[in-house]
Every structure is written in C-alpha cells, then in structure tokens.
A and B are shown apart, each in its own frame.
Chain A
C-alpha cells in the first residue's frame, strides 16, 4: 500500500466513526433526566404548549425514529436551541470556536517548543544534574492540577507582577475587524499592530498553563523513549560504524523515539480540549470552553451536546492528521 492509499482509507473510515459518534451523543442526551419538551418550553408554559412542542420535536416517537430525526437535524446544522442564551446552539458555536482553536493551537506550540527539546536534552545528559532538574520539573508539571496552577499563576503574574492582563482575549478598547475570528490572524491581516500585541499578551498565559502539563508529558515520554532507543542494536551498529555521538542520538535514536511521541500529541490535544473548559472559564476567554462549562452547570443539554459533538469532530480531525503523519514517519505501518 502506498501512502496516498493509506490516507484515502483513513478518510473513508471517518464516516462510520462520525456516525458512531452521533449514536453515542444521542444516547447520552437521552440519559438526561427531566423532560426535554418541558425544559425547552419553560417551567411556566401551559401543558398544551409542552405537548405541541413534544410532537414537534418528535419526542413521542420510538427511539430509533428519534435518532434518525436527530441525525437529519445534525446534518442540516441544527443543534437545537440553547436554554441559557436562547439562541440556536450552532450560532453560539460559530461565534466561539475560533477562540478555542487559537488557544489550543498556541498551547500545542508551547508543548512542541518546550517539550521536545527538553526531552532530547534530558536524555542526552542522562544522570547529570541538569537531567535531574528537568525531570523534577516535568514530574511536577504532570502532577499539578491546571485549575490550581492558574490561580497561582494569576496571583503571581497578574496581581503581584502585573506583567500580563487578566482575562479576555484582547483589550476590549481595541477595535479589531473580524475576518476569520482568529484575533492573531485578523490583526495581521488588517495590519493592526495594537491588536496583534494585545492578542499575544492575552494569549500567552492561558496557552502556557494549558500546555504546561502537555509539555511535561512529552518531555517525559521523549526522554524515556530516547533512553530506550539508545539501547537498541542499531544504535550499537551506528557507533560501530564510527558515527559521531551527535549523529547517533539525533539521527538514529531520535527519529525512532519521535514516533510514539507524535501519537501522544494527538492524545494530548484531546486533553487540552477538555482543559479549555477550565482555562477559558478562569481567564474569561471567549471560547467554546467557557460556553460549555456554563452549559454544564446549568444543565443546558442542547448546548452541552453541541459542544461535545464539536469538540469530538475537532479531535477526530486531529487524530486523522496525526495518523497520516505517523504513517509518513514510520514506513512499517503501511504494511
């Protein structure tokens, strides 16, 4: 099988996956206690209105018919109406998703920029004090709850040191034209440097906290895999060929070690998506996470399900990209 065949196959496999996802989200929303018709109509609505609503929403039909209705609605983009904002959920999602993607992408950059070099560095200097230090820091990084870390970080950096602004994606007094919804991209496109600087200043802390745990995980994994790779026979062979230690580590060991790390990155992205609920709430970041955590508190099921589906779709896309990247890196997998 060649690479493009693998890619095609993978993309086609997405279809049953997406169907399965909708099946599960449907089942979950069905688990919810309470009467959805009543919830949608409101507590004070008269019984007839609730009945009419129930029929309109198809809630009196058998389960699999409801599922089919649900699927058709999803395909049309109808995620229902949010109970807390009283607007169509799809609209709420459309406004907020760029914020979340910007945040998670920035966090991923942090993970890659810090995690990978530190991991290599740690493995190459195994046993020396610098290795011990970075191991301790990464160990702490994996063990610290993010929500608590934020509070500490906010306290130190924002209150005491005043280095970074607290909250929001951008200084509310700045006027930024919305093209893509990604503040950083938009400010570059419109050459609005004030906006650019403000967006960057606002994104640094939340991205850092979101990526901190991920960066520590990558560091540890890469270190462990590198150390393991260095015991393999092909490394012995490379040394027996007289290659420099640099070539042995960076060319032979690293490529083999990066492969499991790449897979881990996909997983990590999923964890970050979950983390946005916390981070966005604490930083008043306008994104899906903040919307989602409010929805959960208020048991706004259309919104909860909408966010769940959205996040899962993004996650599925990221997994697809990573799988393709993996197949490119490790030629054995295609066979």
Chain B
C-alpha cells in the first residue's frame, strides 16, 4: 500500500445551484488530494459545501445544481467524463457512502436483507459461488447458469457476512427486520454494512455519526477504523466536529463557504494552523484543561453564496485582511512541504 499514490484527485471543482433567488455558487473551484489508504477529513461549518462535494464525486448533484467545471480523478480516471452507466458501476461498488440519518436513508417498507442484497447483486459476481452450491447440492455438474434462488441465497450469505463485519448482533434475525425495528446505532451499522458489502476502494462518511449518541459514536468510529484496516480501502470523513477529525484523520482539509482554505496533515493543522479561519475555528473550541479563558467565537456570520464576498470569501471576517483580499481570490498553495493554504498573507 503505497501511501504516496493518489486515490482521489479533485481539481477546480465548480458547482452552481440555479434557484429562483439567484445563482448559488456553492463550490468555487475546490481542489484536494486523497492518498491511498489514508483517512482524509473534510471539515467545515454547515452549509460550507461539504455534502455538495460528496454529491459531485458520485455525480449525484440534484437539480437545480450543476457541475460547471473541474476534474475528479479516481485512480487516474476522470469521473466527470464517464457515462452514466459507468458511474452506476462505481457508485456502491468502487465508491460507497454512509450518510447521516439512517432512518431516512433506509427504505421503510423494505426489509434490511433486501436492501443489502440489492447492492450485492448489483456489483458482485455471484455466479461462481452460486454454481458451486448448485453443483454440490443438486449435483448439476454441468450447469452453466445458476438459478435465481441460488443467487439470492449467495447474496444473503454475503449480506449476513457484512452485518457480521459491522459487529451486528444476530445478523440472521436482522436480515428479516424492517428499519423501524432497529435502534439508531444498529441502523447506522446497517448503512455501514451496505457500504462495505462490495469492497469499495473509497469509503465516504458524510456526517455519519452526527445523529448518534456520543457513546455509540465512539463505537462506530472504532468500528470504521478496524474496517478500514481489514478492507484496505481509503476513507474520507466529512464532518463539522473537530474532535472526530483530530481522532481519526491522517490528513484534513478545512472548507469555508465553498472554498478550501487549508489542507495538511491533521497534526500540523492542530498544532500550527495557518489560515485565519482555521485559527479562529480552533480558538472557538472550549478547552477542558489548562487555564480558564473566554471563549472566542468568530465574529460575523457565514456569507450567503448568491453574492459571495469578492476575492477571498473570508475577508469580511478576517482580522488580518489586506486590500488585496477583497479583490483577488487566493489560490491554494504549499507553504511548507504538504501544508497548503489559500491566503494572501502567505503567498
């Protein structure tokens, strides 16, 4: 596993939403890299564009949104140039997502087993295993095509295996249950099982633990760490919770109002944050140890994205803003080694 290989490379991704109130410039040409086998974190306030980024990777941006320009290279291939058919193979198969609220993301009228097997049947080749079983059970040694029942059986087995991997108690019972019969934590495990069932190369967690109790959160995060090691995949964690990033991620990027302002190793950013927004963000976190200080929230509010601030989108709230900041948009540049910042103070 060569960590220096790039698993996902995003360059200049621009996404607009054409609404009745105007054009929302949701993503203003963002760029970042995710390396093979690492855990990459994308952090930012609500509304900064994290979920739009995820949707863009899978090309599932809903109307009235549209991807205007950019490149999304997944293992060297540009996802934005692929056909819908090719994308469907990738979704769920190569790139899988775990979403935030398992209650609404699971279909309430379908059994858990069904929702797991449909992914498995879509992406995995079950014929080999099914034929094996056919041959052994029914002594059909020359059969070429397995029966549908057999395929379903194989899929169910794999589904149960996936549930076992997410440490779900009683997978055989859960298979027949409906989403509303499970607790929140169990539902989230189902979502994770769905995601890993087809051995994806990139696993994306979009605020996956936001709706869970803190104790369950911890369990789920531990589980995900273990799964990542077992499966050997790359992990992308989207969240607004700095604590999760600090604990889980190797590298991280900070997003603000549709732009990436800083991107580096997690330790680097927490120890020596460079961008004024990142500094402000870290300062706003209450410290349980050390001397008591006043909480310093960032002044101002997140700008609306229909008429975003000119130049650097953070300049109205930046304590160190210069004249240039309101005129020219800062590019994401390396400051030292792989520590990238988009700020005129450092160009």
Q: CB-CB < 8 A to B108: which residues of A?
A: 234, 256, 330-332
Asked whether, in the complex, the Cβ of B97 is within 8 Å of the Cβ of A240, the reply is: yes
Report the minimal beta-carbon distance from B126 to chain A, rounded to whole angstroms. 16
Kindly specify which of B23-31, B74-82, B88-96, B129-137 makes contact with the partner chain.
B88-96
CB 8 Å contact bits of A234-257 with B (1 = contact, 0 = none)? 101111111110010001100110
> Would A256 and B123 be within 8 Å (CB), given that A240-B58, A240-B60, A241-B92 are in contact?
no
Asked whether, in the complex, the Cβ of A242 is within 8 Å of the Cβ of B92, the reply is: yes
Q: CB-CB < 8 A to B105: which residues of A?
A: 233-234, 236-237
> How many of chain A's residues have a CB under 8 angstroms from any CB in B?
23
Which residues in chain B, 93-141, are within 8 Å of chain A measured between CB atoms?
Answer: 93, 96-97, 99, 101, 104-110, 118-119, 122-123
- Which of A239, A251, A335 has a CB less than 8 Å from the CB of B60? A239
Q: CB-CB < 8 A to B96: which residues of A?
A: 240-241
Which residues in chain A, 310-335, are within 8 Å of chain B measured between CB atoms?
Answer: 329-332, 335
Residue B194 CB within 8 A of the other chain: yes
Report the minimal beta-carbon distance from B159 to chain A, rounded to whole angstroms. 13
Q: Is the interface of B mostly helix, strand, loop or mixed?
A: mixed
CB 8 Å contact bits of B51-95 with A (1 = contact, 0 = none)? 000000010100000000000000000000000000111111100
- Which of B89, B97, B118 has a CB less than 8 Å from the CB of A247? B118
Asked whether, in the complex, the Cβ of B110 is within 8 Å of the Cβ of A255, the reply is: yes
Residue A309 CB within 8 A of the other chain: no
Q: CB-CB < 8 A to B88: which residues of A?
A: 242-244
Q: Roughly how many angstroms separate A181 CA and B260 CA in the complex, as a whole number?
A: 77
Shortest Cβ distance from B84 into A: residue:
A245
Q: Roughly how many angstroms separate A256 CA and B179 CA in the complex, as a whole number?
A: 14
Which residues in chain A, 115-133, are within 8 Å of chain B measured between CB atoms?
Answer: none
- Which of A232, A255, A332 has a CB less than 8 Å from the CB of B180? A332
Residue A259 CB within 8 A of the other chain: yes
Report the minimal beta-carbon distance from B256 to chain A, rounded to whole angstroms. 25
Q: CB-CB < 8 A to A247: which residues of B?
A: 118
Q: Roughly how many angstroms separate A267 CA and B93 CA in the complex, as a whole number?
A: 44
Q: Roughly how many angstroms separate A234 CA and B93 CA in the complex, as a whole number?
A: 18
Q: Roughly how many angstroms separate A237 CA and B208 CA in the complex, as a whole number?
A: 13
Q: CB-CB < 8 A to B91: which residues of A?
A: 239-242
Number of A-B contacts (CB under 8 A): 75
> How large, as a class, is the contact surface on chain B?
20 to 34
Asked whether, in the complex, the Cβ of A242 is within 8 Å of the Cβ of B60, the reply is: no
Residue B178 CB within 8 A of the other chain: yes
Q: Roughly how many angstroms separate A200 CA and B209 CA in the complex, as a whole number?
A: 61
Interface centre among A237, A244, A255 (most CB of B within 10 A): A237
Q: Roughly how many angstroms separate A199 CA and B288 CA in the complex, as a whole number?
A: 85
Asked whether, in the complex, the Cβ of A237 is within 8 Å of the Cβ of B99, the reply is: yes
Q: CB-CB < 8 A to B118: which residues of A?
A: 241, 243, 247, 251
Which residues in chain B, 177-221, are within 8 Å of chain A measured between CB atoms?
Answer: 178, 180, 194
Shortest Cβ distance from A247 into B: residue:
B118
Asked whether, in the complex, the Cβ of A255 is within 8 Å of the Cβ of B119, the reply is: no
Shortest Cβ distance from A255 into B: residue:
B109
Report the minimal beta-carbon distance from A258 to chain B, rounded to whole angstroms. 9
Q: Roughly how many angstroms separate A241 CA and B93 CA in the complex, as a whole number?
A: 7
Asked whether, in the complex, the Cβ of B110 is within 8 Å of the Cβ of A240, the reply is: no
Q: Roughly how many angstroms separate A330 CA and B99 CA in the complex, as a whole number?
A: 24
Q: CB-CB < 8 A to B119: which residues of A?
A: 241-243
Asked whether, in the complex, the Cβ of B92 is within 8 Å of the Cβ of A259, the reply is: no
Asked whether, in the complex, the Cβ of B122 is within 8 Å of the Cβ of A242, the reply is: yes
Shortest Cβ distance from A252 into B: residue:
B107
- Which of A237, A242, A252, A332 has a CB less than 8 Å from the CB of B93? A242
Q: Roughly how many angstroms separate A255 CA and B114 CA in the complex, as a whole number?
A: 13
Asked whether, in the complex, the Cβ of B122 is within 8 Å of the Cβ of A233, the reply is: no
Q: Roughly how many angstroms separate A239 CA and B91 CA in the complex, as a whole number?
A: 8
Q: CB-CB < 8 A to B122: which residues of A?
A: 241-244
Q: CB-CB < 8 A to A234: which residues of B?
A: 104-108
Which residues in chain B, 4-50, are within 8 Å of chain A measured between CB atoms?
Answer: none
Q: CB-CB < 8 A to A256: which residues of B?
A: 107-109
Q: Roughly how many angstroms separate A237 CA and B96 CA in the complex, as a whole number?
A: 10
Asked whether, in the complex, the Cβ of A329 is within 8 Å of the Cβ of B109, the reply is: yes
> Would A241 and B107 be within 8 Å (CB), given that A236-B60, A332-B180 are in contact?
no
Asked whether, in the complex, the Cβ of B92 is within 8 Å of the Cβ of A240, the reply is: yes
Report the minimal beta-carbon distance from A228 to chain B, rounded to whole angstroms. 14
Q: Roughly how many angstroms separate A244 CA and B121 CA in the complex, as a whole number?
A: 12
> Would A233 and B97 be within 8 Å (CB), given that A240-B60, A240-B92 are in contact?
no
Interface centre among A237, A241, A252, A329 (most CB of B within 10 A): A241
Q: Roughly how many angstroms separate A237 CA and B91 CA in the complex, as a whole number?
A: 10
Asked whether, in the complex, the Cβ of A242 is within 8 Å of the Cβ of B106, the reply is: no
Asked whether, in the complex, the Cβ of B109 is within 8 Å of the Cβ of A238, the reply is: no
The 5 residue pairs across chains A and B that have the minimum distance between CB atoms: A242-B91, A241-B92, A242-B92, A233-B104, A234-B107
Q: List 11 A-B contacts (CB under 8 A).
A: A233-B105, A234-B104, A237-B99, A239-B60, A240-B97, A241-B122, A242-B89, A242-B123, A252-B110, A256-B108, A259-B109
Interface residues of A (CB under 8 A from B): 232-234, 236-244, 247, 251-252, 255-256, 259, 329-332, 335
